[in-house]
Structure 1
Amino acid sequence: MVLLPAFLDGFARTVSTKKGKNLSEDEDGGREIAKSMIKDSKKNSTLIGTSGFVSSESSKRFTSICSNRGEKGINQDRAIVWEGFGCQEDITFCGMFDGHGPWGHVIAKRVKKSFPSSLLCQWQQTLASLSSSPECSSPFDLWKQACLKTFSVIDLDLKISPSIDSYCSGCTALTAVLQGDHLVIANAGDSRAIIATTSDDGNSLVPVQLSVDFKPNIPEEAERIKQSDGRLFCLDDEPGVYRVGMPNGGSLGLAVSRAFGDYCLKDFGLVSEPEVTYRKITDKDQFLILATDGVLYQLFQHLNQNQD
């Protein structure tokens, strides 16, 4: 049994007590805590960098990016946090992009760079087009349409780019937009969004998964792959890890059913269309985590080892 709630409680206690700060009493405490955690991570060589962080000093929230050094060669993960997104003080944008394949790191880097501006452009265009239809202009409706258009534009941009080979490479994408108390999650891949919310008795934190791990064997995904003449299979040395592949078996396949790039599989059930979901943030919600599948795997391994 993985004790994720215990991990969340431990993290929350660290946040609420580090340097004697209480976040409910001091809005600046969170930012100081984040800076302190980043400093500690750099000292311990666990932080690769925070070049994807755009900070707004007027923001009342605090955010941080951390990446552990792995042992698999090039780190293909890219992340970005943008406070005051689009010059709007109440909007924060977060993005997690997990590359795969020979060009995965290049694709993830390109998507990280182009996604925020494309999303902002699509949001502004959607806002303008829906201004005459008040019934369709809720924050979720606006961001959902903007996200769907952005994912489509980004995937097309990769396809026609002469400088990037995305035929057998790509990246997943998990994004979050927080506007006031409106949280919109857009996900194409197997990275995960988890929010920690206070339990009913108020004595602990409960993890709530806000995204779906889009694996090829999920019934809806498997049906789409089947209808597209794609192949659903597992490698001999990875039983239980389902992949989508070409019908002739011309590739090792891909262990996710939604991603940017990977055009060798786009005719066989792989799509870049995200699932877009909404959550109204309340006082019970404490913090949000966006993490790649590799980070979650290592976390669960660590928790299981500690329990043993």
Structure 2
Amino acid sequence: MTCLPFSCSTRASSVGTRKGRKDDGREAADELAKEAKKNHQLVKSNRDILATGSNGIASFFSQRGKKGINQDCFVVWEGFGFQEDMTFCGMFDGHGPWGHYVSKRVRDLLPSALLCQWQKDLALAAVDSGMDCECSQSNITFDVWKQCYSRTCALVDKELDRHQGFYSFSSGTTSLAVIKQGDMIVLANVGDSRAVLGRTSEDGSIVAVQMTVDCKPNEPQEAERIRQSRGEVFCLPDEPGIYRIWSPTHEAPGLSTSRAFGDYCLKEYGITSAPEVTQWHITERDKFIVLATDGVWDVLSNQEAVEIVSSAEQKETSAKILAESAVNAWKRRRPGLCADDCSAICLFFQSSSPRRQNNLVDGGTKNKGIVSPGGLVAFGR
């Protein structure tokens, strides 16, 4: 494994010099995304992307619910930071009147910000340990990734606060970000989207292993933090079992997740963008990860989800089948209720033989596709 072709800090210095001001490296990371777009590696479109890759396959799909505009969006970047064995996936679920803007903004900010922060923390780790960049990168620890995620989420949340045009005072977004590097997976969860691992048991059947914990206001640790911040947690009479966080005056809109970007009307009452960061190691029995918004998990169990994905005849269609299964489950299990947006990413660890590569095919209004290594795909409005 080698370092990036150049460091964010070095590239940023030249950018800052051209514009006559200093830069913290974010512009350099943004330039990487622009270059990826120029090279047809960055796609933002309501179209099908069908391709396969040697490092694994990421299938993704989003189905608008019955509540209005689809506020879900996501990004998949294989070859993240020009590292052949590194994949970044992000799932974002907006809420509130301007949630679709906030989720899109966080989706656009988080990958490049994380990449830049990773380079900085990697360089600091190399200096502290006395190792060269290549050595430190191959031995990077979970603590470094955890610190990197935490700093990045704080920076992105502050950026939202500075950008008044996105109305993030009473709107926000959850975020579930995943880095896969070799056989290591690091997850950073802000909210109630969920990651579930599909693993084969000894008898060959597929079993579900939940990788993240939903950040809900009624979870004991979350509820304690909220109450210490003077926030309140309770259900409305017409929503039994749905706990929300409220301001002491109950004027701010109640929120059913305890962690989110934006939502500044509730920030002082317990809402936080601090991520829950966990690490996993992939084994030969681990076949894929499902990342999905709460619209999927509200009506499907973890086991049902992995069985649906595992039974898909083609990996390319697995996320589409899962999302559509969730939509059908809303009709059967929650009749009379408006279905939520249902979005999923299925990241497979073992690739089938390539069928199509870098082939852009016109599609409908639904976001779906499959991405190959080296490409960054971002979907949503």
> Could you state the TM-score of these two structures normalised by the residue count of structure 2?
0.63
Aligned to 2:180: 178
Aligned to 2:61: 66
Shift of 1:166: 0.7
Equivalence map 1:244-259=2 (5 Å) = 244-259=245-260
The code of the aligned residue for 2:212 comes to: S
Q: Name the stretch that deviates more: 289-298 or 220-229.
A: 289-298
Helix, strand or coil for the counterpart of 2:62? coil
Aligned to 2:277: 276
Aligned to 2:87: 92
The code of the aligned residue for 1:288 comes to: I
Structure 2 Cα separation of the partners of residues 111 and 80 of structure 1: 11
Structure 2 Cα separation of the partners of residues 167 and 69 of structure 1: 24
Kept in 2: contact 1:194–1:207 (CA 8 A): yes
Shift of 1:303: 6.5
Structure 2 Cα separation of the partners of residues 50 and 295 of structure 1: 22
Aligned to 2:165: 163
Aligned to 1:127: 122
Residue 142 of structure 2 corresponds to residue 140 of structure 1: yes
The code of the aligned residue for 1:246 comes to: S
% identical aligned pairs? 51
Kept in 1: contact 2:94–2:103 (CA 8 A): yes
Shift of 1:295: 1.8
The code of the aligned residue for 1:62 comes to: I
Shift of 1:220: 0.4
The code of the aligned residue for 1:296 comes to: W
Structure 2 Cα separation of the partners of residues 59 and 134 of structure 1: 34
Helix, strand or coil for the counterpart of 1:66? strand
Aligned to 2:292: 291
- What is the aligned length? 256
Aligned to 1:40: none
Aligned to 1:221: 222
Equivalence map 1:12-161=2 (5 Å) = 49=46, 59-134=54-129, 138-161=140-163
Q: CA RMSD in A?
A: 2.3
Structure 1 Cα separation of the partners of residues 166 and 156 of structure 2: 13
Shift of 1:252: 2.9
Residue 268 of structure 2 corresponds to residue 263 of structure 1: no
Shift of 1:202: 3.4
1:191 to 162, 187, 193: 193
Kept in 1: contact 2:252–2:266 (CA 8 A): no
Shift of 1:50: 5.9
Aligned to 1:33: none
Question: Where in structure 1 are there 5+ consecutive unaligned residues?
Answer: 1-47
Kept in 2: contact 1:50–1:66 (CA 8 A): no
Shift of 1:298: 3.8
Structure 1 Cα separation of the partners of residues 210 and 107 of structure 2: 23
Question: Where in structure 2 are there 5+ consecutive unaligned residues?
Answer: 1-44, 131-135, 302-325, 334-381
